[in-house]
């Protein structure tokens, strides 16, 4: 349990990739604060299971990633209740699929806020404590869409490209403080986020469900397989190790070869 005594925040961890990160961190003994929306009883079950797994503390915080004051309060709460925030995984994200000239303004604003600005606010709140303790790991879930574009995903592609730039900037700023800052760029991972965009893609491209899965989603991935949330979490766990102390400012693809093409 190499993370015993360390404490982590994972945003957007009530489901999908974020929950896999939280489970992986807890399995290595970390205290974990989970965040995101969903059914209260289901979230409490996950929280209790994380505490059981780690043998440490597990908290749930409902901070809305569109609200900078709630993000700062969440970091302050974790520092108070855990005694430190050593690891921040900025993972909350949403998607909306539509051409630019039909893209709803409120979706543009929400995607930029949740998928990009929340990471800035998390960094801003967590870096001072990490600097004091001379150790920190900041990891964001970017996307293959931080490196390449797809039509009808203007806000998402913009936010994820921005996240890759923010990662590099932050890495340079904290490079001498024992803090590393990296992002992970998955291709298509089988989670509710992908499931939920299938109907919109069917509509905008006039395709059946099977065509969207095989000809749109998996078409991009040379391996013809979805990435698994646990595979993304395993990479994040490696970045938390002391062996990864010289990995910073990097953007790791885990996309079945998508961005190699």
Q: How far is the CB of 5 from ligand NAD (least distance, A)?
A: 26
If binding is defined by CB under 6 A, does position 117 make contact with ligand NAD? no
Q: Which of residues 86-115 bind ligand NAD (CB under 6 A)?
A: 91-94, 114-115
Question: For 66, phi and psi rounded to 5 degrees?
Answer: -90, -5
**Active site (annotated) includes residue 60:** no
Q: Which residues contact 19 (CB under 8 A, 6 or more apart)?
A: 13, 34, 46, 229
Question: Are 74 and 53 contacting, i.e. CB atoms less than 8 angstroms apart?
Answer: no
The piece of 43-51, 62-70, 120-128, 199-207 that touches ligand NAD (CB under 6 A) is 62-70
Dihedral sign, CA of 83, 169, 116, 54?
A: negative
Contacting residue, 193, 207, 220, 228, with ligand NAD by CB under 6 A: 193
Beta partners for 181?
Answer: 138
Q: Which of 29, 49, 64, 207 binds ligand NAD (CB under 6 A)?
A: 64
- Residue 88 beta carbon to ligand NAD: minimum distance, rounded to whole angstroms: 14
Cα–Cα distance for residue pair 114/75, rounded to 1 Å: 16
Q: Which of 88, 93, 92 is nearest to 75 (CA)?
A: 88
256 binds ligand NAD (CB under 6 A): no
We find the least distance from the C-beta atom of residue 194 to ligand NAD, in angstroms, to be 4
Site mask for ligand NAD (CB under 6 A), range 151-190, x = bound? -----------------------------------x-xx-
Are 71 and 63 in contact by the 8 Å Cβ rule? The answer is yes
Tokens of 194: 């992908």
Contact flag: residue 65 with ligand NAD (CB under 6 A)? yes
- The separation between CA 12 and the C-alpha centre of its own chain, rounded to angstroms, equals 7
CB 123 within 8 A of CB 96: no
Eight-state DSSP code of residue 24 = H
216-255: contacts with ligand NAD (CB under 6 A): none
Q: Choosing from 60, 156, 188, 252, which is the catalytic residue?
A: 156
The DSSP call for residue 212 is: I
Task: Compute the distance between CA of residue 225 and CA of residue 205 in angstroms, rounded to an integer.
Answer: 22
**Is position 16 an interface residue for ligand NAD (rule: CB under 6 A)?**
yes
Cβ distance to ligand NAD smaller for residue 101 or 106:
106
Does residue number 148 form part of the binding site for ligand NAD (CB under 6 A)?
no
Q: Is 68 in the site for ligand NAD (CB under 6 A)?
A: no
192 binds ligand NAD (CB under 6 A): yes
Q: Which residues bind ligand NAD (CB under 6 A)?
A: 11-18, 35-38, 64-66, 91-94, 114-115, 141, 143, 186, 188-189, 191-194
């Amino acid at each position: 349990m190499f993370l015993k005594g360390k404490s982590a925040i994972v945003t957007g961890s009530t489901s999908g990739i974020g929950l896999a990160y939280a489970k992986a961190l807890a399995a290595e003994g970390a205290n974990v604060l989970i965040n995101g929306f969903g059914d209260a009883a289901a979230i409490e079950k996950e929280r209790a299971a994380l505490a059981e797994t780690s043998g440490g503390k597990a908290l749930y915080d409902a901070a809305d990633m569109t609200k900078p004051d709630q993000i700062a309060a969440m970091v302050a709460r974790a520092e108070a209740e855990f005694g430190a925030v050593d690891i921040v995984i900025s993972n909350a994200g949403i998607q909306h699929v539509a051409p630019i000239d039909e893209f709803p303004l409120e979706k543009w604003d929400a995607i930029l806020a949740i998928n990009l600005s929340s990471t800035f606010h998390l960094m801003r709140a967590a870096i001072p404590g990490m600097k004091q303790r001379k150790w920190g790991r900041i990891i964001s879930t970017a996307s293959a869409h931080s490196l390449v574009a797809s039509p009808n995903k203007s806000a998402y592609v913009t936010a994820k490209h921005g996240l890759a730039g923010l990662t590099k900037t932050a890495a340079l700023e904290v490079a001498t403080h024992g803090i590393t800052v990296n992002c992970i760029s998955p291709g298509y991972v089988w989670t509710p986020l992908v499931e939920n965009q299938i109907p919109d893609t069917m509509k905008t491209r006039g395709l059946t469900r099977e065509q969207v899965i095989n000809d749109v989603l998996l078409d991009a991935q040379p391996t013809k397989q979805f990435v698994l949330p646990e595979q993304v979490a395993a990479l994040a766990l490696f970045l938390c190790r002391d062996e990864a102390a010289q990995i910073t400012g990097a953007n790791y693809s885990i996309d079945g070869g998508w961005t190699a093409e």
